[in-house]
Amino acid sequence: MSLSTGVLEIAILLVSVILHENAHGLVARSLGDQTATAAGRITLNPIKHLDPVGSLILPAFLYFAHAPVFGYAKPVPVSPRNLKGTDRWGFALVALAGPVSNIVIAFIAVTLVKHRQLSFDLSGNATGSLLAEGLFFAFRINIFLAAFNLLPIPPLDGSRLIRPFLGNEGRRVLDRVEPFGFVIILLAITLLGQPLFRLVGIIESGLLHLLPI
């Protein structure tokens, strides 16, 4: 991978996670919660969204380690009590907005590939130009981001999607676990490894059926 390709991939990743977080904030605002707006998080300004580890150090480390580039932004703050839906379906809709935004970006990437008649190989390659490589990465990383975020592990979006189906005690357990969510995710990746990413792959396969590949 060339340096220019690596820089392009990190830039696309940053744009993707920023749009993901903005989608959460916009849907929360439409449902009555102004928390993200008050915090200045409904913006395309990357400084407002950057997490030093997840947005810069982790992607750069993965790039130089010749591993798949991945990362995350600071989660947009949401106050469930302010949402229409009383922390049940309202919170679930806010959570769903993030993965949906990633699917939309992937759809746009596929559409541009077809419009420009570029070479696009779902087995993992894009050939012909830096534009083709960028669009392929935009497609691939956004499908991965959507699938990974749908895992039911706090603070991922999937954990918020299952809240409407849990009782009060179940939701309290999620709330208690969430502050340690990223540690749990790292442990899950370390200990489960292949089974976890096999589950992500199953979700990815389902999402691919939503796109005109």
Would you call 192 helix, strand, or coil by DSSP? helix
Indicate the pTM of the whole model: 0.84
Domain spans of the chain, in order of start: 3-208
The verdict on whether 21 is a catalytic residue reads yes
Give me the catalytic one of 21, 169, 178, 204. Answer: 21
Nearest to 69 by CA among 13, 3, 130, 29: 13
Instruction: Output the pLDDT for position 126.
Output: 54
Specify the pLDDT at position 2.
67
Measure the CA–CA gap between 150 and 142, rounded to whole angstroms.
12
End-to-end CA distance of the chain, in Å? 25
**What pLDDT does residue 104 have?**
94
Q: Which helix (H) or strand (E) holds 55?
A: none
pLDDT of res. 117: 64
Q: What pLDDT, on a 0 to 100 scale, did the predictor assign at position 161?
A: 93
Task: Indicate the SS3 state at residue 45.
Answer: coil
Nearest to 24 by CA among 86, 81, 99: 99
Residue numbers in the chain where pLDDT is lower than 50 = 124
